[in-house]
Amino acid sequence: MSQRHQAVYLLVCLSIYASVYVIHVCRWPTPRYWSLCLLSLPMVTLFGNALVCLAVCTERGLHTATNYFIVSLAIADIMVALLVMT
């Protein structure tokens, strides 16, 4: 297979990789790994933001206006992780 054919083949596979048919034709062995990565991203987001909220809520020294703003951003990010990323 020439380099041009390989490049076209790669571009076609990459441009519509979400299609199950193209994944089957390209014989990519990793569709399950992609789904694992896509599922782990919201989990890590939830965990990290929950730690931020927990730290500010439990530590008395972190009760400042700036940290309350950070907690509100963490809560908004948790909502994005739950509603959009899943």
Cα–Cα distance measured from residue 32 to residue 20, given in angstroms and rounded to the nearest whole number: 12
DSSP, collapsed to helix, strand or coil, labels residue 86 as coil
* Per-residue model confidence (pLDDT) at position 18: 42
Amino acid letter, residue 48: G
Cα–Cα distance measured from residue 83 to residue 67, given in angstroms and rounded to the nearest whole number: 24
Alpha-helical segments (H) within 16-64: 20-26, 31-58
Tell me: the pLDDT tens digits for 20-74? Answer: 444 455 555 556 777 777 888 889 999 999 999 999 999 999 999 999 999 999 9
Q: Quick one: 5 exposed, middle or buried, by C-beta within 10 A (0-12, 13-18, 19+)? A: exposed
